[in-house]
Amino acid sequence: MTSFEDFRNQSQALLIELDAATIGMMTLVTSKCVSGPEWDAATKRQHDAYERWNAFLNIPG
């Protein structure tokens, strides 16, 4: 597999998790559940997914 294919595959996997985490958080918003342990877990998941994707894109080259 080429470097570009590796990059594309890993980027896609990270973006899928980021999207799923964001959707999960927004689902809680529509349910008016924006506090408590479930909200805390959802926002942490979304934050962590974003951080992993951002770190991947900003690897020192």
| Dihedral class, residue 2 (left if φ above 0, else alpha if ψ from -120 to 50, else beta) | beta
pLDDT for residue 17 is more than 90 = yes
Alpha carbon distances (Å) from 19 to 42, 43, 60: 12, 13, 25
pTM, entire model: 0.86
pLDDT at 35: 97
Alpha carbon distances (Å) from 43 to 4, 13, 21, 26: 31, 19, 8, 10
pLDDT for residue 1 is more than 60 = no
Amino acid occupying residue 34: V
User: What are the pLDDT digits (tens) for 26-60?
Assistant: 999 999 999 999 999 999 999 999 999 999 988 77
Cα–Cα distance for residue pair 27/60, rounded to 1 Å: 35
Domain ranges across the chain: 3-57
pLDDT for residue 61 is more than 70 = no
